[in-house]
Amino acid sequence: MKTALVLNGPNLNLLGTREPAIYGAQTLADVRALCESACAAHGLALDFRQSNHEGELIDWIHEAGRAQAAGTLAGVVLNAGAYTHTSVALHDAIKGAGVTLIELHISNVHAREAFRHHSYISPAARAVMAGFGVQGYALAIAGLAGLAGS
């Protein structure tokens, strides 16, 4: 059984505590449970992580590249949070790792402030999903399973 790695970036540990009009009322623990169900439905194991540190996210993407090359990983779903709009380093990490990665956003970033309209992740991602709320995580896992043929 292959694994889906779901990575969450800065401040996503605050989900469900503030800004419910934008991000909904569900916590990151709820999102993990939703991802567990989605992975189970698609015959995937789940590895679910969150970090507020750019370098840690980069290390995890490198690890994912090695795991995918070894045949144990289906790919990555990445909500890079605000690093989406700032991080050339994450862009380079995704390219360098050669990993199949789906960029995910809970909110429709294109309907928000102009500074959220540009993503450094998108050119390195296999697919992009935004605006489905936390349900987008399940949709992205289904998409990853389809790409991986599981």
Cβ–Cβ contacts within 10 Å for residue 143, how many? Answer: 19
Q: Are 41 and 33 in contact (CB under 8 A)?
A: no
* Under rule CB under 6 A, residue 15 binds ligand CA2: yes
Interacting residue with ligand CA2 among 77, 105, 129, 137 (CB under 6 A): 105
* Residue 29 binds ligand CA2 (CB under 6 A): no
Q: How far apart are CA 101 and CA 61, in angstroms?
A: 9
| Of the candidate residues 49, 82, 96, 133, the single one contacting ligand CA2 (CB under 6 A) | 82
Q: Binder to ligand CA2 among 67, 106, 124, 144 (CB under 6 A)?
A: 106
Interaction of residue 116 with ligand CA2, rule CB under 6 A: yes
From the CA atom positions of the chain, what is the Rg in Å? 14
**Does position 120 bind ligand CA2 by CB under 6 A?**
no
Residue type, 7: L
Q: Is 110 noted as a catalytic residue in this protein?
A: no
- Within 10 Å of residue 10's Cβ, how many Cβ atoms? 18
Task: State the catalytic residue, choosing from 23, 83, 120, 137.
Answer: 23
111 is an interface residue for ligand CA2 by CB under 6 A? no
Report if residue 23 touches ligand CA2, rule: CB under 6 A. yes
Beta bridge partners of 105: 130
Whether residue 83 lies in the annotated active site: no
Contact 47, 3 (CB under 8 A): yes
Which of the residues are catalytic? 23, 105
